[in-house]
Chains A and B, each alone.
Chain A
Amino acid sequence: MAATVSSGRDAVATPIQRAFREAFYAGAISLGLFVLFIGLRTDQNITNELILVQRWLLLAIVVIAVTVGRFLYVAYAVPAMERSKAEKAATPAVVAEPGFIKQNFNRIGLVILLLYPIAMVLLFGFQGSLKWVDNFGIQILIYVMLAWGLNIVVGLAGLLDLGYVAFYAVGAYAYALLGTHFGLSFWILLPAAGCMAAFWGVMLGFPVLRLRGDYLAIVTLAFGEIIRLVLINWREVTNGSAGISGIPKVSFFGLISFNVSDPNYIAKVLHIAQSGAYYKIFLYYLALGLCLLTAFVTIRLRRLPVGRAWEALREDEIACRSLGINTTTTKLTAFATGAMFGGFAGSFFAARQGFVSPESFVFLESAIILAIVVLGGMGSLGGIAVAALVMIGGTEILRELDFLKAVFGPDFTPELYRMLLFGMAMVIVMLWKPRGFVGSREPTAFLKERRAVSASFTKEGHG
């Protein structure tokens, strides 16, 4: 939260002098920013009138922290970074053989993912593993699935979609409504929800085909909001903001059920003790399976003509058209395919929660998914998975930091700071790595030898 003051004078000043000056500016600016918002707090008194509570000590602490932080950053961190950069430039570039982990990144990741629930059960027992499998495992996998789906639209085809959550909502409501009213099974409704979401993807795609760049962004955003508002207001069907509850659970292809009352309940079939953890572990593997399906389809599609057309569209739309690619169908298939995976994720989400309401499909979700795609490096599946792990896992872990209560007193709730830190993390990661975690790209078509395309040559599309 500090300003960068750079001018010609800096050349003569020593780092320490410059640090003092910058720290002073940073302190003054943060004082200005925070004096009303941290120094005073608006609270309601007993008669419901707003009163001001003064918190000057907190303000002083924050301002001093910003000042000292800025001083340390300019005086020590920046010179240290510059030195290491200079050292790196001085040593001759050795083409290092990528390490074992880097070479087998996908395989190692997959093995860890497969063993994760088992490890959690061994570590914490069935009851203790619930939280780790559900809040961390499944939650992150849902976002990975969504981000990989959006990656087809944004990362491959280069079309900026700010309303992706609409397809997630369509999938979730399709499963919720058809499952509760007609009692259809998850395994029938999963493809149905995917098709329905794909249909809506085409519906959105048609009007926006002529739009480009930010016009496309705002129309997709508007589309997402329209879907959410319709879900809120069409009370006869969607039950409004109260949402739909009692959504049936997924069964293991009808063979093994996870409802305690059913005759084929898992504990009765396998003759083991009852536990809610079986269902969560089953859902975890289901989510993992859906993720792998998404990844598999994405990887294969990139080698099909349509996938190559998407990437060509992202790189240069005019060249694409002049080479005879039908941009209309190319864009529509990108929207439809991306939306279909959103629909899959949505129906999985509904099955996992057992409850859906419009609250889950706000713009913030679209923003988070888009942020994961961009932070992951747009187009790189591994990078996106890492981004989802860092951003979602990082904010989920804040719920667990109970020891902070011992430091800041019992009133301190780390959860409150979750989204604040999430927003700041988005900014910091983007400043640190503007091209995302994996900026380089693996080309789909190549001559003789496959070489990664450096980040500075990759494009992001204008659609």
Chain B
Amino acid sequence: MQYFVQQLINGLTLGSIYGLIAIGYTMVYGIIGMINFAHGDIFMVGAFTALIVFLILGALFYSVPIVVALLIMMIVAMLLTSLYNWTIEKVAYRPLRGSFRLAPLITAIGMSIALSNFVQVTQGPRNKPIPPLVSQVYTFDGISISLKQIIIVIVTITLLAIFWYLVNRTALGRAQRACEQDRKMAALLGIDVDRTISITFIMGAALAAVAGTLFLMYYGVVVFSDGFVPGVKAFTAAVLGGIGSLPGAVLGGLLIGFIESMWSAYFSIDYKDVAAFSILAIVLIFLPSGILGRPEVEKV
């Protein structure tokens, strides 16, 4: 039982990170109907930015309280990563809006390749380890919870609350939801669609940057190719939850996190990704539009 609860906690931590990335996928998909393949690499850029900021802080100051350091890392990562995603949207996706459905998908894949190789060329291909930022571990009744995990869950919940408020209670969120339903009608009613889409990309990137910072803190290492696997898992999470649905993305992220940690605990660690992908396929066979997704209406 203790072992099970322990795995549940590990799964929750992992799932939080996946959920944060998955929101970026699902929001972009909801609003312009494209798979932003570069999003995984945006997450990696976020993690790398946090790494560099951490090193700058270490070089400039003798010691910084860890909370302050994490906060600065997170904020700088959010700003710079948003700038990346905003630029990518302007350069690679906006000119192709209204074109072939596959055209933006290909530019997104191209951007993903370009981003990860850009980081490889400028920062080198090696693993980048950092000393552990937070190392306290609390033990309750045989179950150990590290402070890292608590931070991840708290940050995720806080961000999701802010995010929920933004989408459901502000004019910006209303504009986003309107664009998601019908872009042309939204434009007719005076919503600046281009601006709304830009802000969507910025919000997605900011959440991915936080996920990147948390990832760096949790694993203590980052490498240029780190965008792919978490990116695909997060995308899987978004599809599993029903792409386009925000609660679905979080739910899917948590599910993928739980499946992964349970599978590696009880069966085989080698096949944990196989398990996650297989469950995706099985869920989609029975629920072709994901768990919380709206079924697509076929119009003639």
A interface residues, Cβ below 8 angstroms from B: 1-4, 29, 32-33, 36-38, 40-44, 48, 50-52, 154, 160, 207-208, 210-212, 214-215, 217-219, 221-223, 225-226, 229-230, 232-233, 318-319, 363-364, 367, 370-371, 374-375, 378, 416-417, 419-420, 422-427, 430-431, 434-435, 460, 462
- Known interface pairs A52-B55, A460-B101; A367-B90 also in contact (CB < 8 Å): no
List B166-212 residues whose CB lies under 8 Å from chain A: none
Which one of B61-69, B120-128, B140-148 contacts A? B120-128
B78 on the interface (CB 8 Å rule)? no
Q: How many residues of B contact A (CB 8 A)?
A: 70
Q: What residues of B have a CB within 8 angstroms of the CB of A435 in the complex? A: 99-100, 103
The answer to whether B117 touches A423 (Cβ under 8 A) is yes
Q: What residues of A have a CB within 8 angstroms of the CB of B35 in the complex? A: 214, 217-218
The answer to whether B83 touches A32 (Cβ under 8 A) is yes
Q: What residues of B have a CB within 8 angstroms of the CB of A371 in the complex? A: 106, 109-110
Q: What residues of B have a CB within 8 angstroms of the CB of A229 in the complex? A: 270-271, 273-274
If over half of A's interface residues share one DSSP class (helix, strand or loop), that class is named, otherwise mixed; here it is helix
List B108-133 residues whose CB lies under 8 Å from chain A: 109-115, 117-124, 126, 128-130
Which of chain B's residues has its CB closest to A55's CB?
B122
The answer to whether A38 touches B122 (Cβ under 8 A) is yes
The answer to whether B103 touches A427 (Cβ under 8 A) is no
- Known interface pairs A33-B87, A37-B123; A434-B109 also in contact (CB < 8 Å): no
A4 to B109, CA, bound (A): 21
Q: What residues of A have a CB within 8 angstroms of the CB of B110 in the complex? A: 371, 422-427, 430
A363 to B232, CA, bound (A): 10
Q: What residues of B have a CB within 8 angstroms of the CB of A367 in the complex? A: 109, 112-113
Given A50-B129, A215-B288, A460-B101, 13 more A-B residue pairs with CB atoms under 8 Å apart are A1-B87, A32-B80, A40-B56, A215-B239, A221-B232, A223-B277, A225-B273, A378-B102, A423-B110, A426-B110, A430-B107, A431-B92, A431-B107
The answer to whether B273 touches A420 (Cβ under 8 A) is no
B284 on the interface (CB 8 Å rule)? yes
Q: What residues of B have a CB within 8 angstroms of the CB of A37 in the complex? A: 48, 52, 118-119, 122-123
The answer to whether A427 touches B107 (Cβ under 8 A) is yes
- Known interface pairs A1-B87, A50-B130, A225-B232; A374-B102 also in contact (CB < 8 Å): yes
Partner of A460, one of B95, B100, B126: B100
A217 to B235, CA, bound (A): 11
B258 on the interface (CB 8 Å rule)? no
B interface residues, Cβ below 8 angstroms from A: 29, 35, 48-49, 51-53, 55-56, 59, 80, 83-84, 87, 90-92, 94-96, 99-103, 105-107, 109-115, 117-124, 126, 128-130, 228, 232, 235-236, 239, 243, 270-271, 273-274, 277-278, 280-282, 284-285, 288-290, 296, 298, 300
A3 to B194, CA, bound (A): 13
The answer to whether B113 touches A364 (Cβ under 8 A) is yes
Partner of B288, one of A41, A50, A210, A423: A210
CB of B96, distance to nearest CB on chain A (Å): 6
Which of chain B's residues has its CB closest to A217's CB?
B35
The answer to whether B300 touches A426 (Cβ under 8 A) is no
A32 to B232, CA, bound (A): 28
A416 to B118, CA, bound (A): 10
The answer to whether A50 touches B128 (Cβ under 8 A) is yes
Q: What residues of A have a CB within 8 angstroms of the CB of B118 in the complex? A: 37, 420
The answer to whether B280 touches A370 (Cβ under 8 A) is no
CB of B20, distance to nearest CB on chain A (Å): 19
The answer to whether A29 touches B122 (Cβ under 8 A) is no
A49 to B137, CA, bound (A): 25
Which of chain B's residues has its CB closest to A6's CB?
B194
What are 17 A-B residue pairs whose CB atoms fall within 8 Å in the complex?
A2-B91, A32-B80, A33-B80, A207-B284, A211-B288, A212-B296, A215-B284, A222-B280, A363-B228, A374-B103, A422-B110, A423-B117, A424-B110, A426-B113, A426-B114, A431-B95, A435-B99
CB of A27, distance to nearest CB on chain B (Å): 13
The answer to whether B281 touches A42 (Cβ under 8 A) is no
Q: What residues of B have a CB within 8 angstroms of the CB of A211 in the complex? A: 284, 288
Q: What residues of A have a CB within 8 angstroms of the CB of B105 in the complex? A: 160, 374
The answer to whether A460 touches B102 (Cβ under 8 A) is yes
Residue of B111, B113, B117 ringed by the most chain A CB atoms within 10 A:
B113
A1 to B114, CA, bound (A): 12
Which of chain B's residues has its CB closest to A51's CB?
B55
Q: What residues of A have a CB within 8 angstroms of the CB of B121 in the complex? A: 416-417, 420
Which of chain A's residues has its CB closest to B49's CB?
A36
A364 to B282, CA, bound (A): 25
CB of A338, distance to nearest CB on chain B (Å): 16
A434 to B106, CA, bound (A): 10
CB of A310, distance to nearest CB on chain B (Å): 17
The answer to whether B106 touches A426 (Cβ under 8 A) is yes
A42 to B123, CA, bound (A): 6
Q: What residues of B have a CB within 8 angstroms of the CB of A43 in the complex? A: 124
CB of A268, distance to nearest CB on chain B (Å): 46
CB of B195, distance to nearest CB on chain A (Å): 12
The answer to whether B52 touches A427 (Cβ under 8 A) is no
Q: What residues of B have a CB within 8 angstroms of the CB of A2 in the complex? A: 91
- Known interface pairs A42-B55, A416-B120; A225-B277 also in contact (CB < 8 Å): yes
A207 to B121, CA, bound (A): 41
The answer to whether A42 touches B102 (Cβ under 8 A) is no
A225 to B298, CA, bound (A): 30
Q: What residues of B have a CB within 8 angstroms of the CB of A29 in the complex? A: 83, 87
Residue of A230, A371, A426 ringed by the most chain B CB atoms within 10 A:
A426
CB of A151, distance to nearest CB on chain B (Å): 13
